[in-house]
Amino acid sequence: MRYLKNIPRPGLRIAKSAAAVGLCYLVSLLRPGGIVFYSQLAALWCMQNYVENTRKNALQRFLGTLIGAAYGLLYLLLFPKNSELWNAAVVTGLVGVVLYTTVLIKRKQASYFSCVVFLSIAVNHAKDLNPYLFVWNRCLDTIIGILIGVAVNEFSLPREKHEEILFVSGLDDTLLCGSRMSDYSRVELNRMIDEGLHFTISTCRTPASLLEPMRDIRLKLPVIVMDGAALYDLKKNRYLKCYLISNVTARKIYDLIHACGLTAFVNVVIDDMLVIYYEETEDAVQKRMVEELSASPLRNYVKDRSFEKEAVLYFMLLYPDAALDAFRFRMKQDGVTERCRVTEERAAEYPGYTCMKIYNKNASKENMLEYLKQELVVEKTITFGSIEGSYDRIVEPGDANGVVKGVRSMFEPVKLVRRLTGKK
């Protein structure tokens, strides 16, 4: 049953493709003399994930057909039936002319279709009783297919758009299934963002670890990162706001860490660049972590203590749980836990180790979300996550499309459904 649950359901693009093919059949019945195959090919070529891609492909197909048909007609008019060798030489030369034409008019993407149409006329239909009729029908069939493909792909039920709502989603076990986003979520989320959806991410990750999973998402809003310690613009690679630990408190925390015989990774932001200061350590797990994470261009590991001149974003300690006991006691004794926010979690990548982070007391996802709401001048937010009681909408782990489906139902409800249910 679990295997069946993970089988992807047929998407809307599949249904629309089948509908377009059926409509091409219907038009061919009403227009005898055409070749429905060419209409269907053109319609299927226009079936794309995004509207802008549909229109772009439609234009490519249309221009390619016109160029190929024009040269095919020119071949029929200027080069009457001759020997096979002569015809082969002429067609070969004209293929180069067709390709060069697409270069001259800066439509190289249409070169393939131009050649296909030209060769179908010059090679397959030059000996027809009326090849000129084929040229006409070939153009008309393609235009019909393009119109059907674009119309079907852009068709949607009338929907309202709630651009006054800010939707915020967690990332791991929420928007991502494993380490990636499903194709459905990626396509639908991008489409809604293009149509005015206010959507962002709130995560414990650093900007560097967001790059890969969010690479194909066209986010327009900054993201809440590092468990609310920073607000980051992925497009401009800029930190828009940070909750920093004061120099006095940072110095005290660092002294406590050393007094307990520990070392820490000290995260600071310098000119929109995350710098992680660390000291030499004999711990094999810490060494491995530095080797693995320092490859990212957005993480800059520096073996130095000169962070003392910089404002600290957060401290991170990575040790077996028992090794942190004395430090926990000293932090509580010296009042650090009252002046800062301390989080701990098992390090899944490093079994047996605990990851402790020390932030500014005000550094939280909730506070950063309030700041973002003020910047965007929005009053209503809807949050999605996997922890019961912490979010407005709970997403079950493994539900790869739960967030996007929930966002879609609230951002763009069908008008007819709302009238029938009486919901506002």
Q: What is the pLDDT of residues 23-63, one digit of tens each?
A: 999 998 888 878 899 899 999 988 887 777 888 888 888 99
pLDDT of 361 > 90? The answer is: yes
Going by pLDDT thresholds of 50, 70 and 90, the confidence category of residue 399 is confident
pLDDT of 373 > 90? The answer is: yes
Q: What secondary structure, in 3-state letters, does the chain show?
A: CHHHHHCCCCCHHHHHHHHHHHHHHHHHHHCCCCCHHHHHHHHHHCCCCCHHHHHHHHHHHHHHHHHHHHHHHHHHHHCCCCCHHHHHHHHHHHHHHHHHHHHHCCCHHHHHHHHHHHHHHHHHCCCCCCHHHHHHHHHHHHHHHHHHHHHHHHCCCCECCCCCEEEEECCCCCCCECCECCHHHHHHHHHHHHCCCEEEEECCCCHHHHCCCCCCCCCCCCEEEHHHCEEEECCCCEEEEECCECHHHHHHHHHHHHHCCCCCEEEEEECCEEEEEECCCCCHHHHHHHHHHCCCCCCEEEECCHHHHCCEEEEEEEEEHHHHHHHHHHHHHCCHHHHEEEEEEECCCCCCEEEEEEEECCCCHHHHHHHHHHHHCCCEEEEEECCCCCCCEECCCCCCCHHHHHHHHHHCCEHHHHHHHCCC
So what's the pLDDT on residue 295? 77
Residues in the chain: 424
How far is residue 273's CA from residue 254's CA, in Å, rounded to a whole number?
A: 22
Q: Which of 90-104, 175-189, 219-233, 243-257 bottoms out in mean pLDDT, i.e. has the lowest?
A: 175-189
pTM, rounded to two decimals:
0.77
Q: Which of 53-57, 129-133, 386-390 bottoms out in mean pLDDT, i.e. has the lowest?
A: 129-133
Torsion angle, alpha carbons of 167, 172, 173, 178, to 10: 130
Could you identify the residue written with the tokens 């293009």? Answer: 194
Going by pLDDT thresholds of 50, 70 and 90, the confidence category of residue 176 is confident
Give strand pairing partners of 113.
none
Going by pLDDT thresholds of 50, 70 and 90, the confidence category of residue 173 is confident
Q: Mean pLDDT, to the nearest integer, of 118-146?
A: 82
Q: Which of 8-17, 155-164, 241-250 bottoms out in mean pLDDT, i.e. has the lowest?
A: 8-17
The whole-angstrom distance between residue 339's C-alpha and the CA centroid of its chain comes to 38
So what's the pLDDT on residue 128? 65
Give 310's contacts (C-beta < 8 A, 6+ positions apart): 268, 270, 275
The whole-angstrom distance between residue 125's C-alpha and the CA centroid of its chain comes to 45
So what's the pLDDT on residue 239? 95
Give the model confidence (pLDDT) of 304-354 as tens digits.
877 777 889 999 999 998 999 999 999 999 999 999 999 999 988 899 999
User: Tokens at residue 30, please?
Assistant: 């009403």
Q: Which of 345-349, 369-373, 394-398 bottoms out in mean pLDDT, i.e. has the lowest?
A: 394-398
Decide if 50 contacts 153 (C-beta within 8 A).
no
pLDDT of 123 > 70? The answer is: yes
How far is residue 414's CA from residue 424's CA, in Å, rounded to a whole number?
A: 12
Return the higher-pLDDT residue of 216 and 124.
Answer: 216
Q: Among candidates 221, 215, 295, 304, which has minimal Cα distance to 268?
A: 304
User: Tokens at residue 377, please?
Assistant: 């001048």
As a whole number, the mean pLDDT across the chain is 87
Q: Which of 189-203, 278-292, 302-316 bottoms out in mean pLDDT, i.e. has the lowest?
A: 302-316
User: Tokens at residue 281, please?
Assistant: 């350590």
So what's the pLDDT on residue 14? 87
Give 22's contacts (C-beta < 8 A, 6+ positions apart): none
So what's the pLDDT on residue 184? 85
How far is residue 169's CA from residue 160's CA, in Å, rounded to a whole number?
A: 21
The type of residue at 106 is K
Going by pLDDT thresholds of 50, 70 and 90, the confidence category of residue 420 is very low
Report the 10 Å Cβ neighbour count for 71.
23
So what's the pLDDT on residue 292? 84
pLDDT of 114 > 60? The answer is: yes
Return the higher-pLDDT residue of 341 and 387.
Answer: 341
How far is residue 31's CA from residue 296's CA, in Å, rounded to a whole number?
A: 60
Return the higher-pLDDT residue of 78 and 286.
Answer: 286
pLDDT of 363 > 60? The answer is: yes
Going by pLDDT thresholds of 50, 70 and 90, the confidence category of residue 365 is very high
pLDDT of 8 > 70? The answer is: no
% of the chain beyond a pLDDT of 70: 93
Burial of 20 (0-12, 13-18, 19+ CB in 10 A): buried
Give the dihedral sign, CA 29/30/32/37.
negative
How far is residue 175's CA from residue 193's CA, in Å, rounded to a whole number?
A: 15
